[in-house]
Amino acid sequence: MRIVNGLPRHVACVMDGNGRWAAQRSLPRTAGHEAAEASVIDIIDAAHSAGITWLSLYAFSTENWRRPAGEIDILMRLVRRAIRKHAPALYARGVRCRFLGMSDPRIPPPLVQDITDLMALTSENRQMTLTVAFDHGGRRDIVEATRSLIRAAVPAEQITEATFARHLPYPDTPDVDLVIRTSGEQRISNFMLWQVAYAEWVFPQVLWPDFRATHLWECLDAYRWRQRRFGGVRQSTTITGDEPR
Q: Which residues are catalytic?
A: 16, 64
| CB-closest chain residue to Mg ion | 16
DSSP symbol at 173:
P
**Residue 19 binds ligand IPE (CB under 6 A):** yes
Contact 164, 149 (CB under 8 A): yes
For 55-72, letters b (16+ CB in 10 Å) and e give bbbbbbbbebeeeeeeeb
Question: Which of 115, 27, 19 has the alpha carbon at shortest distance from 76?
Answer: 115
Q: Which is nearer to ligand IPE, 35 or 128 (CB)?
A: 35
**Residue 85 binds ligand IPE (CB under 6 A):** no
Contact region with ligand IPE (CB under 6 A), list: 97-105, 107-115, 151-159, 180-188 = 180-188
Q: Exposed, middle or buried by CB within 10 Å (0-12, 13-18, 19+), for 226?
A: middle
Question: Which of 206, 190, 200 has the alpha carbon at shortest distance from 36?
Answer: 206
**Residue 16 binds Mg ion (CB under 5 A):** yes
Q: Segment 183-212, which members bind ligand IPE (CB under 6 A)?
A: 183, 185, 187, 189
44 binds, among ligand IPE, Mg ion, none (CB under 5 to 8 A by kind): none
**Residue 207 binds Mg ion (CB under 5 A):** no
Site for ligand IPE, rule CB under 6 A: 14-20, 58-61, 64, 75, 183, 185, 187, 189
